[in-house]
Structure 1
Amino acid sequence: MRRTLAGILAVLAMSTALPAFAASPDSESRSDPLGDLITGALTGTIPGTLEYKMRATLYHAGAKGIRSLDSLGCKVVAMRTVAVDKTVIPRRTVLFIKETVGLPMPDGSTHDGYWYASDIGGAIKGLKLDLFSGMGRSSMAPLMALDLSSLSVSKVGEFKGCPPE
């Protein structure tokens, strides 16, 4: 939530829209930053971000051919690492996947919806994601309740180095 609020505040700070009380001939066509902020808080999105509807598959450590490192050479992180088609979403992109907010994390906390595009895969083409669930097949259980055929995915930033663990 803290990251989302920071992003929203940054967008508002850069906004050049007139205050709501200032009248102008084309005021109907101006943006409504306060309305965008309220809508973003209610829906969990950042105003002005493009939302993709994407299909997802799941992968876990222990599966045939799954290494413990992603394509950047970083350690894969359960419920954080996502493999993408780098022609659609560049590696090192921070993604917000609305449907994953509140899912249980391996450490017992709840998911904040943020994922890190640090991996790629041969079968990941177009509007498709591959979410890393953790160690063993049982780690996929929290994600199985999702409708993986249509996830709401927004690019919300970039990261340097490796994703946080």
Structure 2
Amino acid sequence: MRRQLAGILATAVISAFAIPALANAATGADSAPASATRVDPLGDLITSALTGALPGSVDFKMRATMYHAGAKGIRAFDSLGCKVAAMRTVAVDPKVIPRRTVIFIKETVGLPMPDGGKHDGYWYASDIGGAIKGLKLDLFSGFGAASMKALGSVDLSNLSVSTVGEFKGCPPQ
């Protein structure tokens, strides 16, 4: 099954990325500099499929709390010095999940995002907190207490968490 999925994903990647790459090469279009940080969830998913770490293969069962900017003592920056990103930033215990890890939380797929889209389940471990110990997460919902409504339907006492990669720099906004 995994080999079939990897084959299907590889074919999709070739179709989706090879043709535009060939078009850019033919027209002499410049590509992004090699040093630029790129966000490539599809590429990360394909890599995960090929290495056997598919989102959904649960690494941890964790419980979570929520936090938002605007509450007493909550700043708009994470422990890396980056701006927190609504429905993307997660605080972790770095002894369990290292900072700069991309995680997949199955239960958050489909939740409403601040931009009106649907959540893809990917979160960025860029924050830590004194109360975040062991198998616990703290999910950043956004700005103001009303932002927490998006996570209101999720059972935060039993989340399926998979580590799916790493990121450099700051998480995408």
| TM-score, normalised with respect to structure 2 | 0.72
Q: Give 1:58 shift.
A: 0.2
Count of residues paired in the alignment: 133
* Counterpart check, 1:96 vs 2:136: no
SS at match of 1:78: coil
Q: Deviations over 1:102-143 (max 9, x none)?
A: 000000000000000000000000000000000100000010
Identify the residue that residue 50 of structure 2 maps to in structure 1: 10
Local SS of the residue matching 1:106:
coil
Unpaired segments ≥5 residues, structure 2: 1-40
Which residue does the alignment assign to 1:109?
A: 117
Contact 2:70–2:143 at 8 Å: present in 1 too? yes
Q: Pick from 145, 163, 168: which aligns with 1:160?
A: 168
Matches within 5 A, 1:123-134: 123-134=131-142
Residues 32-56 of structure 1, C-alpha deviations (whole Å, 9 max, x = no match): xxxx9xxx5xxx52xxx55200000
Question: Following the alignment from structure 1 to structure 2, what is the Cα–Cα distance between the partners of residues 124 and 77?
Answer: 18
| Root-mean-square deviation over aligned CA pairs | 1.8
Q: In structure 1, the residue corresponding to 2:151 is in which secondary structure?
A: helix
How far apart are the structure 1 equivalents of 2:43 and 2:149? 27
- Runs ≥4 residues deviating over 3 A: none
Structure 1 window deviating more from structure 2 (49-58 vs 69-78): it is 49-58
Give, as a single letter, the amino acid of the residue that structure 1 aligns with 2:129.
G
- Deviation at 1:5? 3.8
AA paired with 2:47? G
Residue 77 of structure 1, CA deviation:
0.2
Q: Per the alignment, do residues 3 and 115 of structure 1 end up closer, same or farther by CA in structure 2, a change over 3 Å counting?
A: farther
Aligned to 1:30: none
Q: CA deviation at 1:8?
A: 4.0
Would you tell me which structure has more helix in proportion to its own residues?
2
Is 2:81 the counterpart of 1:84?
A: no
Cα deviation, residue 10, structure 1: 2.8
User: 1:147: which partner in 2?
Assistant: 155
| Counterpart position of 1:53 | 61
% identical aligned pairs: 71
Distance (whole Å) between structure 2 residues aligned to residue 9 and residue 126 of structure 1: 27
* Kept in 1: contact 2:92–2:99 (CA 8 A): yes
Partner residue of 2:17?
none
Contact preservation (8 Å) 2:44, 2:165: no
